[in-house]
Amino acid sequence: MLTIRDGLIYSSANPEKSIDYAKLVRRVHFRQGGAVVMATGFYDPPTEMSDPDTQKGNISAAYAFGTQAALVEVDPETGKVDVLKIVAVHDAGRILNPVGAEGQIEGGVAMSMGYTLAEQLVVEEGAVVNTSLADYKLLTIGDTPEIKVVFVGEPDPEGPFGAKGLGEHGCVPTPAAIANAVYDAVGARICELPLLPEKVLTAVKGPS
């Protein structure tokens, strides 16, 4: 039985016997008839599967949280919404790569702005009828506002080195933040995306 700790491999029976992990791998690999050192591992986090009857459970070892606020301008004559700034505050545990994590949030915000303001997939009888990108509007870098990213929170004991997930953080709060900002600006509550100008204008003017 062997134990790997701090870059060394120990004999469990005699802990005083050890060898550097990298040195052992080189000895196994770089020799006549050498082999590639391979290993597998599995981590089962402390979770609780959902009860099929109550739908209650605890399916994740760690939960990440995030919130956003949007500053917008709404043209009352056309219904066009311009997003001027997004402030994104997220708890992802210990941030291992600050630049990469910030870019993840910024990319998520930019992507989410697309389906908040422009992207509309039209499906009729199970078929997509948008024939080209002329009928499926995508935002460009010119439409991306100032994005301020703030990370908060403490290292999570169940995460790798204290980190938590950051995959969808930037996407999820963006539509609600923009829609709430539109409501704050013009008093029109819109609960269906995308916030196309004609939809916003109709909501602002009210029932005809």
Of the given ranges (75-79, 104-108, 126-130, 134-138), which has the lowest mean pLDDT? 134-138
The per-residue pLDDT of the chain, averaged, comes to 91
Q: What digits encode the pLDDT tens for the residues 84-119?
A: 999 999 999 999 999 999 999 999 999 999 999 999
Residue 205's pLDDT band, with cuts at 50, 70 and 90, is confident
All structural domains of the chain: 1-43 (no CATH), 65-205 (3.30.365.10)
Catalytic residue selected from 73, 146, 168, 198: 168
Burial 34-72 (b: 16+ CB within 10 A, else e): eeeeeeeeeeeeeeeeeeeeeeeeeeeebebebebebbb
**pTM of the complete model:** 0.77
Beta bridge partners of 48: 58
Residue of 65, 105, 72, 67 whose CA lies nearest to 190: 72
For the question of residue 168 being annotated catalytic, the response is yes
Whether residue 63 is predicted with pLDDT greater than 90 in this model: the reply is no
